[in-house]
């Protein structure tokens, strides 16, 4: 793990092409306006930053250093920033490639941000974003390389990795993905970043009735994928026969089984030292599980490396889901140690209970993390280690303060948003915990997302 150095907050600087002219008050809609732009640095969110007459323009489908013709997709005449798509490349970067997907372009599917970028360059761009977020939000200089996560049966690097895909359904009943920042559904016959099990489930090309969205989840146990259907409010969903998938419909009472099973099976093999151990998990419905097939192993091993758990220690797993990190920590602390797992979704806790029944020293709590951390029984316990895997918005100040009050010797923070992680890093520093290591993984190729595992110590 790399070790960051503390740095002062950066001074504001002007970018290339910046004008001193102050933008006018907001006026008429500027959508459709075409601009010739020199593209600046990558920014968090899958776009690059350019400037036009003093105004920031966030440009998608571009690369830093390119010169492009961009068409404005959002913005008023006097607004402080616009959004735009690069519709023609006037001067291309050497790392620009042809997208693998025919609908990965301006005005089309919004599922991918970087189909036009060579995979190695994608990782470099994501590393730059992580570095920038930590500098801006935590006042830290971090040196990080985004690690590749290969997929054995992919069509090419960065493809066929997504084991869970949520599709929207258009008015004609066709499954697809939405255009960027739009409710428009782009119907699909394939999704090159989704696994063959997902695309082979039969949902692409089928016709649904009264369906808003559907999610396909393909587990690693080799069973047929599960399709979870969300009906339009107040309607009864019409689901065509899908011979290669289990099907369930989400209702106010829970999941209604149409065919097959209502859960997905996952198997994870994690290496610790010279030994390997396989764990099996049950994930109900379209419950949370990492979408990249290599993610559970990579993140599990990274968390163990960060915490270095010892026999007899007491660990706390927050936002524990179905218990991936819980199981790994239980193995590590042994029969003399304990693991307390806290998860807000009751179905996930029930699934964890089924998967972890062989670990008598594991305790599972169902409830909000914020409330659990304020419980007198928890605060009175000895806590040596904490792992947390919060939602994209991060843990937040209340959770961070409560973790610090427990005084664990090490904290492992798994984050899918570098900005949220950087903000929580700053909060942890205020409460006596410094960032002692940071790793980043490319678990979402072709998109701007990046997964990080950070280690904090007192």
Give me the active site residues, please.
416
Q: Could you write out the three-class secondary structure of 314-352?
A: EEEEECCCCCHHHHHHHHHHCCCCEEEEEECCHHHHHHH
Which of 262, 376, 281 has the alpha carbon at shortest distance from 320? 281
Which of 129, 103, 137 has the alpha carbon at shortest distance from 7? 137
389 annotated among ligand-binding-site residues: yes
319 annotated among ligand-binding-site residues: yes
Q: How many CB atoms lie within 10 A of CB 85?
A: 20
Backbone angles phi, psi at 412, to 5 degrees: -110, 125
- DSSP H or E segment with residue 304: helix 295-307
343 annotated among ligand-binding-site residues: yes
317 annotated among ligand-binding-site residues: no
Q: Which residues of 285-304 are buried (b: 16+ CB within 10 A; e: fewer)?
A: bbbebbbbbbbbbbbbebbb
Q: Which residues of 179-213 are buried (b: 16+ CB within 10 A; e: fewer)?
A: bbeeebbbbbeebbbbbebbbbbbbbebebebbeb
437/454 Cα distance (integer angstroms)? 6
Alpha-carbon distance values, 285 to 230, 313, 322 (Å): 12, 33, 12
Q: Which residues are annotated as a binding site?
A: 290, 319, 343, 389
Q: Which residues are annotated as a binding site for S-adenosyl-L-methionine?
A: 290, 319, 343, 389
């Amino acid at each position: 793990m790399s070790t960051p150095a503390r740095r002062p907050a950066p001074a504001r600087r002007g970018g290339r092409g910046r004008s001193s002219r102050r933008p006018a008050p907001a006026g008429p809609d500027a959508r459709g306006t075409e601009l010739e732009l020199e593209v600046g640095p990558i920014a968090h969110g899958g776009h690059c930053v350019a400037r036009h007459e003093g105004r920031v323009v966030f440009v998608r489908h571009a690369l830093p250093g390119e010169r492009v013709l961009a068409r404005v997709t959002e913005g008023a005449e006097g607004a402080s920033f616009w959004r735009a798509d690069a519709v023609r490349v006037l001067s291309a970067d050497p790392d620009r490639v042809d997208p693998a997907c025919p609908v990965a372009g301006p005005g089309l599917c919004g599922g991918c941000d970087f189909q036009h970028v060579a995979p190695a360059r994608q990782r470099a761009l994501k590393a730059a974003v992580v570095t920038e977020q930590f500098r801006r939000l935590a006042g830290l200089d971090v040196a990080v390389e985004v690690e590749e996560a290969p997929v054995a049966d992919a069509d090419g690097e960065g493809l066929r990795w997504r084991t869970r895909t949520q599709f929207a359904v258009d008015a004609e009943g066709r499954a697809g993905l939405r255009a960027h920042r739009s409710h428009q559904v782009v119907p699909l016959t394939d999704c090159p970043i989704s696994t063959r099990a997902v695309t082979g489930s039969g949902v692409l090309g089928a016709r649904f009735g009264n369906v808003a969205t559907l999610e396909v989840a393909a587990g690693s146990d080799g069973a047929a994928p599960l399709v979870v259907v969300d009906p339009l409010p107040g309607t009864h969903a019409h689901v065509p026969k899908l011979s290669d998938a289990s099907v369930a419909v989400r209702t106010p009472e829970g999941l209604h089984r149409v065919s097959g099973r209502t859960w997905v099976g996952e198997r994870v093999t994690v290496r610790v030292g010279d030994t390997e151990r396989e764990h099996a998990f049950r994930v109900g419905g379209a419950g949370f599980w990492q979408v990249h097939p290599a993610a559970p192993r990579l993140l599990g091993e990274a968390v163990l490396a960060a915490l270095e758990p010892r026999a007899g220690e007491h660990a706390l797993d927050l936002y524990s889901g179905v218990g991936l990190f819980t199981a790994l920590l239980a193995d590590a602390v042994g029969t003399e140690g304990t693991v307390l797992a806290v998860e807000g979704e009751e179905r996930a806790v029930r699934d964890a209970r089924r998967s972890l029944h062989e670990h008598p020293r594991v305790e599972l709590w169902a409830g909000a993390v914020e409330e659990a951390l304020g419980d007198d029984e928890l605060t009175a316990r000895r806590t040596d280690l904490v792992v947390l895997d919060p939602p994209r918005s991060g843990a937040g100040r209340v959770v961070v303060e409560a973790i610090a009050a427990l005084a664990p010797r090490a904290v492992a923070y798994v984050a899918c948003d570098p900005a949220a992680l950087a903000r929580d890093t700053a909060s942890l520093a205020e409460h006596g915990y410094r960032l002692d290591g940071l790793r980043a993984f490319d678990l979402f190729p072709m998109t701007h997302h990046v997964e990080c595992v950070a280690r904090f110590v007192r």
